[in-house]
Amino acid sequence: MTQLPQSTERKMGLVIDLDTCVGCHACVISCKGWNTENYGAPLSDQDAYGADPSGTFLNRVHSYEVQPAEGPAQLIHFPKSCLHCEDAPCVTVCPTGASYKRVEDGIVLVNESDCIGCGLCAWSCPYGARELDQAEGVMKKCTLCVDRIYNENLPEVDRIPSCVRTCPAGARHFGDLGDPHSDVSKLVAERGGMDLMPEMGTKPVNKYLPPRPKDKIEDQIDILAPLLAPVAEEPKGFLGWLDKTLEKL
């Protein structure tokens, strides 16, 4: 059914820390590997060794330069995958019911056997989270590793999305954003987690933690200056200081 559930029992999602992501693409390829081998059709690649290689990926890492009013430009790495929106437009536009949002945990999925590959869900998604697989003709998207997070064949510690498990910098967090006491919700509260394109009204479940303020070290110089008061102006004086200090040791 492509009508959205009134509410979901939990709101499982990701919290992505833009202050920590170094842009290594580990999540991108881990996702490719897991989802090629698991849920639904493999993520295919066209012209894999040729002039225009292009494949299906469920997670991609962009990078942006931000030029603040003062100070040097900043570079921010920006992973992006399905945000599992509460008001997911991709679900309601689907004519076949292939797209749906799970009542249990809010994960937005595509039931590939019902997908006609019309692409309308991808059109309706502001985030570019859906890609039509060119080999299979069905819409692919982040499943939040629904086949991992409850998988009893995996050790409990591994029941997290593959992108989260693999992220070397720990810039990706997974949990229930509907529970204000969950670690991810606390993180969002502490760090001012934000929505992408809030004006779209999609109410994304995934949140982004903004980068901390940068290039502020010179602002502290007045406080820090006393630390650098010379012990002596002359090398001779320095050795005198040295003797005195050594006495105290």
* Segment 177 to 206, residues that bind another protein, using CB under 8 A: 194-201
**Among residues 76 and 179, whose Cβ is nearest to another protein?**
76
- DSSP annotation of 194 reads B
User: What is the amino acid identity at position 213?
Assistant: P
Please tell me whether residue 131 adopts helix, strand or coil conformation.
strand
Return the residue of 7, 66, 180, 203 that touches another protein, per CB under 8 A: 66
**Among residues 181 and 228, whose Cβ is nearest to another protein?**
228
Interactions with another protein, residue window 147-166 (CB under 8 A) = 147, 150-154, 157-158, 162, 165-166
Return the residue of 180, 186, 189, 224 that touches another protein, per CB under 8 A: 224
**Among residues 102 and 179, whose Cβ is nearest to another protein?**
102
Residue 176 beta carbon to another protein: minimum distance, rounded to whole angstroms: 16
Tell me the number of residues near another protein by CB under 8 A: 146
Check binding of 229 to another protein (CB under 8 A): yes
Return the residue of 58, 85, 108, 146 that touches another protein, per CB under 8 A: 146
Of 12, 19, 11, 10, the C-alpha closest to 190 is 19
Residue 181 beta carbon to another protein: minimum distance, rounded to whole angstroms: 19
Residues 6+ apart with CB under 8 A from 188: 15, 177, 207, 209
H/E stretch holding 209: strand 207-209
Q: What CA–CA distance (Å, rounded) separates 144 from 140?
A: 12
**Among residues 33 and 180, whose Cβ is nearest to another protein?**
33
Residue 86 beta carbon to another protein: minimum distance, rounded to whole angstroms: 15
H/E stretch holding 3: none
State how beta strands 12-17 and 207-209 pair: parallel
Q: What CA–CA distance (Å, rounded) separates 45 from 60?
A: 15
Return the residue of 15, 82, 83, 94 that touches another protein, per CB under 8 A: 94
Of 108, 131, 142, 127, the C-alpha closest to 44 is 131
Residue 147 beta carbon to another protein: minimum distance, rounded to whole angstroms: 5
Return the residue of 15, 82, 88, 125 that touches another protein, per CB under 8 A: 125
**Among residues 132 and 179, whose Cβ is nearest to another protein?**
132
Return the residue of 11, 12, 14, 77 that touches another protein, per CB under 8 A: 77
Residue 68 beta carbon to another protein: minimum distance, rounded to whole angstroms: 4
Q: Which residues make beta-bridge pairs with 81?
A: 59
Complete DSSP assignment for 70-107:
SS--EEEEEEEE----TT-HHHHT-SSS-EEE-TTT--
